[in-house]
Amino acid sequence: MYSQSMAVSSGKAQRKPLPGHGALSNPAGRFERRQIETVDDGWYREEVPETVPLSLEPDHARSVISTNDSPDIPFEQSINPYRGCSHACSYCYSRPSHSYVGLSPGLDFEAKLFYKRDAAAVLERELAHPGYVCKPINMGSNTDPYQPIERRMRVTREILQVLLRCRHPLTLVTKGALVLRDLDLIVQLARDNLIGVGISITTLDAGLKRAMEPQAASPQARLGIVRTLSQAGVPVGVLVAPVIPALTDHEMESILEAAAEAGARWATYTLLRLPHEVKDLFKEWLAAHYPDRAEHVMSLVRQMRGGRDNDPRFGARMRGTGLFAELLRSRFHIAARRLGLDTQRAGGLEVGLFRPPRPPAPQLALDF
């Protein structure tokens, strides 16, 4: 377990943020039988490191395409090149996935990362299967395919190269500026209507971004990505995600206006989701960074979640319920319609061009 920064206020131990990290602690996952609680008794305090070391290990996957039948998710297939994410967003709903490998959704999720080393080769085998049916594949639904380690590992780029060779449609969602490294591949896919890109923008406030999304690209850099992709002819949109009441919701219209000015073709939004361990990690982050409004934020969250911190029901989990949720929905649709951003996101990608890769064979194929 990682050591935690501690301060004592009115006799109560409080954690301090570590530079470059969204989580303040490293709680055990919900499947662990043993729980460890840090207590400051005033006698001994362990020396606290300034940073948490990053570790990177290969994830040997027999399959890289995941499927889902969720009615409120606009894709059926997805690929996640990485497990864990060093963008370290405090609110990330994917954090609980680390519990499945015996690690913490807290600092472990940000610092103990896994990459799918053979992803491109495995993907080729899956696409070559005789029963495979071509449907758009999403990248970025769980962890960001363009987080900083992609610069060195290049797993996402290798996957894009396979999809381009096979003329396979995909959607990309990211908040990483590294996506522009692969502009050469993305432009080729866009020429045949094989790709749609979504850039996630949570806030235009650089200070809030640094606290909430420590290692992600700046708001202005993300708008620059939208502008570059749009000018290159790539269909690009913006996800105002997540909308956090009393913290970022007042920026909704400003984000949409900036996105439209940068060339976005569509926009959508999702409400803050706090599943499983995320709710406690996010409350801890709020108490450290915004103690003056922490309770107000969570009160509004509960108003939109049926009195709970989270509502996992399909249909309700993305948008929420209640008066405040309805107000957000109305504000978004009015602004999106006014700015011409209310078109269907990345709809109608081409599937008819798909050409499955040919597996190596000892005998030459008979082509007529």
- Helix (H) and strand (E) counts for the chain? 11, 12
When pLDDT is cut at 50, 70 and 90, the band that residue 348 belongs to is confident
Query: Rounded CA gap, 328 and 326, in Å?
Result: 5
Give tens-digit pLDDT for 5-36: 333 333 344 567 898 999 999 998 777 666 66
Structure tokens at 279: 């709710």
Residue with tokens 């209640």: 322
Enter the pTM of the model.
0.89
Percent of the chain whose predicted confidence (pLDDT) is above 70: 87
pLDDT at 4 over 60: no
Buried b (16+ CB within 10 A) or exposed e, 279-312: bebbbbbbebbbeeebeebbebbebbbeeebbbe
- Nearest partner of 242 among 343, 325, 133, 167, judged by Cα: 325
- Tell whether the model's pLDDT for residue 308 goes beyond 70: yes
- Can you read off the two tokens belonging to residue 55? 């570790």
Residue 171 to residues 100, 125, 299, 343: CA-CA distances in angstroms? 26, 21, 35, 16
Q: What is the pLDDT of residue 60?
A: 85
Cβ partners under 8 Å of residue 33, min gap 6: none
Model pLDDT, residue 2? 40
Q: What is the pLDDT of residues 295-307, one digit of tens each?
A: 999 999 999 999 9
30-44, 66-80, 234-248: which range is least confident on average? 30-44
Per-residue pLDDT, averaged over 199-209, amounts to: 98
Residue-wise burial string across 9-41, b where 16 or more C-beta atoms lie within 10 A, e elsewhere: eeeeebbebbebbbbbbbbbbeeeeeeeeeeee
Query: What are the chain's domains?
Result: 56-339 (3.20.20.70)
Please give the mean pLDDT across all residues of the chain.
90
Please give the helix or strand (H or E) that residue 174 lies within, else none. strand 170-174
Q: At what angle do helices 155-166 and 119-128 cross, to 10 degrees?
A: 20
Residue (of 93, 61, 31, 54) closest to 272 by Cα position: 93
Q: What share of the chain is helix, strand, coil (3-state, %, to 5)?
A: 35, 15, 50
Q: Which pLDDT band, with edges at 50, 70 and 90, does 345 fall under? A: low
Q: What is the mean predicted confidence (pLDDT) over 226-252?
A: 98
Which segment of 70-74, 126-130, 201-205, 305-309 scores lowest on mean pLDDT? Answer: 70-74
Q: Is the pLDDT of residue 153 over 70?
A: yes
Segment 214-230 mean pLDDT: 98
Q: Check pLDDT > 60 for residue 137.
A: yes
Alpha carbons 84 and 21: distance in angstroms, whole number: 13
